[in-house]
Amino acid sequence: MSSYLDELNDAQRAAVEYIDGPALVIAGAGSGKTRVLTYKIMHLLNNGYKPWNILAITFTNKAAREMKERIAKQIGEQDAAQLWMGTFHSIFMKILRMEIDKTDYQKNFTIYDATDSKNVVKGIIKDMNLDDKIYDLRTVCSRISGAKNDLISPEQYESTEQYADDSNAKRYKMVDIYRAYMRKCQTSNAMDFDDLLLQTHLLFLKHPELIKKYSDKFRYILVDEYQDTNSVQYNIVKSLASLHHKLFVVGDDAQSIYAFRGARIENILNFQRDYKEAKIFKLEQNYRSTKVIVNAANNVIAKNARQLKKEVFSENETGDRIRVLESAADIDESYKIAADIYNRVADGDEKYSDFALLYRSHSQSRSLEESLHKRQIPYKIFGGLSFYERKEIKDLIAYMKLTQNGNDDEAFKRVVNYPKRGIGDTTMDKITALATANNLSIWNTVVRLQEFDPTISPRTINALAQFMKMVYQLKLFADSNDAYKATLQIANTSGVLKDLEADKSVEGQGRLENAQELLNGVKQFVETRQKDGNTATLAEYLEEVSLMTGDEKNEDDSNKVSLMTIHASKGLEFKNVFLCGVEEGLFPSQKSAESSVQLEEERRLFYVAVTRAQKRLVISFARMRFKYGQLAPAQPSRFIKEIDTKYLDFGAGGESQFEAARDIPYAGRFRKTFAENDRNIAARPVPKFGNFKKYVPGSGPNRAAQVSPSDLKEGTEIKHSRFGRGRIVAFEKMKDDTKLTIDFINVGRKVLMQKYAIADMQIVN
């Protein structure tokens, strides 16, 4: 028998071997669904299917890449490269570019990220003289995105429940904003992420022959995370599977947590209704977590009425009971968590990267960050500012986009006066208004600017003409060179690199280093593509970057504690998990009390959080939490109470302590807890990352004894509170200070001014 099948358990093997019709695989947390998908494709290839006839849709490009690499080892890279594998967005973008002549777009359309989309909407609200407090940017963008995902056009929007809500909120112009946004994207020859789905749906709707073409081509379709599909994804998949009925979907209704993005749990719950001949397979063995963690998660999710029944189990060790951590207030909670991590690393049994702090809301991270910083515990935040969202990177990418699509208004506005060319905001506002009035892109408006507005000064027209000439010449260069050469030419010719080099501050040098890192990334892209025998054009690089998912934009493999929202944690796993702020009104959220449907989604979110833990789980709550600048009482979440107490450890006070507040007055309890934590931490040894000169355990570097400038020499090893461990490689004496060049292990080379940096340093003996 084939060796790859022998690596599967009975349930996994049954799912892999069935290839006769539609199938739903209900995959519990940690049950090996990625392995099943990978082996399923290998099994199809071993049973006569050609790579180009298989469509595999994943929810991240990273997952697709890893699966393809595993398959390539079995069938060879050449055959693996012919698989249609990727995210919904990447697959549909490929189809749109192939069939672009049947759409209203040009082949060189660019893709707007969330920031670009918000800027377009912000401009429309401003042009329409609307109150930006009533027309809140986040709400308006969410409404437009939701409408697209539900296949609701601007013309249909007035008859929706959302429109009624908008009217109640006095957003009477919502339809006009939606219509203007669609028109603006069209004239800019740009699509946002939702458009990649919507325009594919409209393409198939207007051209039924294309449904036949692609449904015939894709003889077997696989979809991962099916519970997270929205209406438009559901409809396209159904169309593509209409001919051969070979649809294999994998998902877990218990992990459906993206309703706010338009995901419809009904897609997986009603799969058998849509495909009556479908076979159901259940992957119920959890390979990730201890028995205690799995059983506790089962306790909670069993309370949901809408679900596909399954019995997830673990054959791993029983494991420790789940610790329920009560704190006096949120700052006390953060303090205790930081202390626990510090102590465990100090004992030498754990690394910082073994820990994850999960929370319901981004706002919870502030006190957690402060406490970690005070203990000098390195951390990373998922979902924060990614590399590609930094100003200097977005500036360069805007130039790159503009060389590929001159009609990209957002790219044009971003860089037309960077570096400065004497083209001010007033001029651009006037040109933007002309472009909107004439339904043209800014580029095409500038071409006819004297015709539209003879009052524009010759100096301004000349500055714009020189800018556009430069962009056009860069386009010609990019068309005949690879992505790296094109990007380097853009960075130099545009003046961006020169501008960054002119800023000699520490922050300025950091921005320059980021730009250089972008160039390094483009070079790696070119080398990898050329090694595989593919072209490596600037357009191809932009396409790859624009479709990067959040997990790829925030990759960081260094030894740091991970902080993230529970939504961001889906698909990840950690040895130790702290689930923070598990209180009524926070988790479940206050809004979820409005309906049982929303409460069930919150319960699924809790299930996801619990099942991220492999060995140890701490569920934390506070009796008091800051809300709107004031301390307010809080109660432990109902979700804690839904777990059988035999799986919980309430600490020294037992369950009775959990049920009621302590008798000690709040203020006294708060001070007592801090004093105990301070004594405990001071008694612990320093974590084993080196012995530091003049280091006081339990205190930040600013409160440690000052390192003397005479201690610092070329070759000296230091640890910086922000950048971590590094080695001084150069000194440069200046008039009032000394410039230090330091090679840091985690963040690379940094140039720091000695008089500011020295307070945050310790010397490694």
- pTM score: 0.77
pLDDT band at 594 (very low <50, low <70, confident <90, very high): confident
Whether omega before 636 lies within 30 degrees of 0, making that bond cis, reads: no
pLDDT band at 324 (very low <50, low <70, confident <90, very high): very high
Q: Name residues whose C-beta falls within 8 Å of residue 761's C-beta, 6 or more positions apart in sequence.
A: 701, 707, 712, 718, 719, 720, 721
Beta bridge partners of residue 742, listed in sequence order = 728, 750
Catalytic residue among 17, 34, 575, 649: 34
pLDDT band at 669 (very low <50, low <70, confident <90, very high): very low
Catalytic residue among 116, 192, 195, 224: 224
Average pLDDT over residues 149-160: 87
Beta bridge partners of residue 85, listed in sequence order = 56
Instruction: Output phi, psi for 289, to 5 deg.
Output: -110, 165
CA pseudo-torsion sign 707, 708, 709, 710: negative
In this prediction, what percent of the chain has a pLDDT beyond 90?
60
CA pseudo-torsion sign 39, 45, 51, 53: negative
pLDDT tens, position by position, 77-127: 888 888 999 999 999 999 999 999 999 999 899 999 888 999 999 999 999
Catalytic residue among 199, 233, 255, 614: 255
Mutual angle of helices 538-546 and 506-531, in 10-degree steps: 110
Q: Which two tokens stand for residue 446?
A: 């500038």
Is 225 tagged catalytic? Answer: yes
Q: Under DSSP, is residue 388 helix (H, G, I), strand (E, B) or coil?
A: helix
Cα 197 to Cα 236: distance, rounded to the nearest angstrom: 8
Half-sphere exposure of 459 (CA within 13 A, CB side): 5
- Residue 602 near residue 588 (C-beta atoms within 8 A): yes
Instruction: Output phi, psi for 730, to 5 deg.
Output: -160, 150
Cβ count within 10 A of residue 231: 20
User: Rounded to 5 degrees, what angle do the CA atoms 402, 407, 409 make?
Assistant: 80
Is 612 tagged catalytic? Answer: yes
Is 602 tagged catalytic? Answer: no
**Neighbour-count burial of 646, counting CB atoms closer than 10 A to its CB (0-12 exposed, 13-18 middle, 19+ buried):** exposed
Nearest to 418 by CA among 457, 370, 467, 454: 467
Nearest to 516 by CA among 524, 192, 30, 58: 524
Cα 563 to Cα 448: distance, rounded to the nearest angstrom: 51
- Residue 243 near residue 216 (C-beta atoms within 8 A): yes
Whether omega before 588 lies within 30 degrees of 0, making that bond cis, reads: yes
Cα 493 to Cα 474: distance, rounded to the nearest angstrom: 8
Tell me what pLDDT residue 704 has: 36
Is 410 tagged catalytic? Answer: no
Is 255 tagged catalytic? Answer: yes
pLDDT tens, position by position, 736-755: 778 888 887 666 677 888 87
Tell me what pLDDT residue 625 has: 86
Please give the full DSSP string across 509-525, using - where no structure is assigned: HHHHHHHHHHHHHHHHH
Cα 545 to Cα 567: distance, rounded to the nearest angstrom: 22
Tell me what pLDDT residue 746 has: 61
Is 253 tagged catalytic? Answer: no
Average pLDDT over residues 628-638: 82
Instruction: Output phi, psi for 102, to 5 deg.
Output: -100, 5
User: Cα 102 to the chain's mean position, in Å?
Assistant: 32
Tell me what pLDDT residue 667 has: 36
Cβ count within 10 A of residue 655: 12
Summarize the chain as % helix, strand, coil (round to 5).
Answer: 55, 15, 30
First to last CA, the chain: 59
Catalytic residue among 192, 194, 195, 225: 225
Nearest to 121 by CA among 138, 146, 104: 138
- Residue 57 near residue 160 (C-beta atoms within 8 A): no
Instruction: Output phi, psi for 9, to 5 deg.
Output: -80, 175
In this prediction, what percent of the chain has a pLDDT beyond 70?
90
Please give the full DSSP string across 461-478, using - where no structure is assigned: HHHHHHHHHHHHHHHHHH
Beta bridge partners of residue 379, listed in sequence order = 561
Nearest to 750 by CA among 512, 554, 488: 512
Catalytic residue among 12, 13, 33, 200: 33
The average confidence (pLDDT) of the chain is 86
- Residue 609 near residue 322 (C-beta atoms within 8 A): no
Tell me what pLDDT residue 92 has: 95
